[in-house]
Amino acid sequence: MYGSWRWNLSFGIFGLIIVFLIGMINNPWTTSLLRGGYAFVLFFLLAFVVRYIMASLLAPSPERAAAEQEMVEEELAGSNIDYVTPDGEEDLNAVLREQMAQGKVEKAEPAPVQDEKAAQFQPLKPKKLVSTENMQAEDLTRAVRHLTGE
């Protein structure tokens, strides 16, 4: 079904108001209200038929829905990047098993390096460029003023 029962209720109230207002011209208000109540029931039930027809006309066919889904997927292709970190639990479990077998749980050794470039990697250890231990107070204030822009 297309929509909800609120459409039926709205359609029924619309019918009640129209019939009541038109009936007030030539009839007493009680007769107009009674006929408006009948119109409410009739329009409420008629709304089910209208909703069913709307649902059957507006519902896409399965082939058309599949084609639209493919078009959407083609448009979105390449717009998302899925980053996935490799699962290292197997390597970790293997290292832990080796350590347990050797009885050296206290000292953990790094996993063997598989890449040649990774084996050659050495972290950068820069020397201290400027030491403030032997500087005069005037030199330090000049440096601070230079950095703060005063």
* Angle between helix 29-58 and 5-23 (nearest 10): 140
Residue 26 has pLDDT above 80, yes or no: yes
Give the residue carrying structure tokens 């030199």.
139
- 12 occurs within a structural domain: yes
Range of the domain at 16: 5-61
d(C-alpha 39, C-alpha 18), whole Å: 9
- 74 occurs within a structural domain: no
- 43 occurs within a structural domain: yes
Domains of the chain: total: 1
Say what the pLDDT of residue 14 is. Answer: 94
d(C-alpha 131, C-alpha 129), whole Å: 7
Say what the pLDDT of residue 2 is. Answer: 67
- 125 occurs within a structural domain: no
- 54 occurs within a structural domain: yes
- 97 occurs within a structural domain: no
Average pLDDT on 22-26 reads 93
Residue 129 has pLDDT above 70, yes or no: no
- 9 occurs within a structural domain: yes
Say what the pLDDT of residue 105 is. Answer: 47
More confident residue, 130 or 17: 17
- 134 occurs within a structural domain: no
